[in-house]
Amino acid sequence: MAPHAGGDSSSSSSSSSSDQYKPQDAVHAALTMGALFGTGGLFLAAVKTSLEKKHVGPWAVFSKHGNIAATFAAVGSVYEFSRVASANLREKNDHYNNAIAGAFGGAVLGLRAGRIPAILGYGAVMSVTSAVFEYTGGRIQGAGRNPDVDEFERKEMLRKRYRRPVEETIAEIGEGRSIKLPGYDERRAQRLKEAYGFEVKPVCADPDRA
């Protein structure tokens, strides 16, 4: 009994250790996200410069609209650093980390207005939006596919779930136009007889069945 108990304790300890939170590098994540957001802000600054009515040089991207790239980089860096730092402190990955990060990131975005209500408002909106987005799955396209489910089996399951009986389909669109159920010729002859008063003998056009 003792070896069995030891095996259970070792397996439980290994499973608990695999479920433990693994700390992340907050500085590296902040620099990466800041560079990504800064690149996006630089692109927007370039677009805004190209739409200027006056002729401006290429350096206007930095001299006139460089604050856009700087703001984007700051928001991305602060958001990601706050999210990862919160996860490291709480040792948990959930939507609360995104709420905290959204509050700090939105506050940085509101600094451009230079007013306390704007800072609090941007922080609150970004916090709620980020938390709700993460809580609902963190995906724009909906829930991701299960990698353990074969794609062919998944599509077959969807076909069986949403497949309609052929009788119901034909009842809506009607027979004809190459849509024929067994006994179509006899039913067509009966309809012609009822409508026009003469009998049409069904003839098979297939020479092999004649």
Rounded to two decimals, the pTM is: 0.58
Closest CA to 44 of 75, 80, 72: 72
Q: Which residues contact 132 (CB under 8 A, 6 or more apart)?
A: 95
- Rounded distance between C-alpha atoms, residue 113 and residue 197, angstroms: 85
Beta bridge partner(s), residue 10: none
Residue-range domain boundaries for the chain: 22-135, 151-196
Degrees, nearest 5: CA angle 86-87-89? 65
Tokens standing for residue 150: 């074969």
Q: Please list the pLDDT of the chain residue by residue as tens digits (210 residues).
A: 444 444 444 444 444 444 688 888 999 999 999 999 999 989 988 888 888 877 777 777 887 888 888 999 999 999 999 999 999 999 888 899 999 999 999 999 898 888 899 999 999 999 999 999 988 877 766 556 667 778 888 788 877 777 777 777 777 766 666 667 677 777 778 877 888 877 776 666 666 655
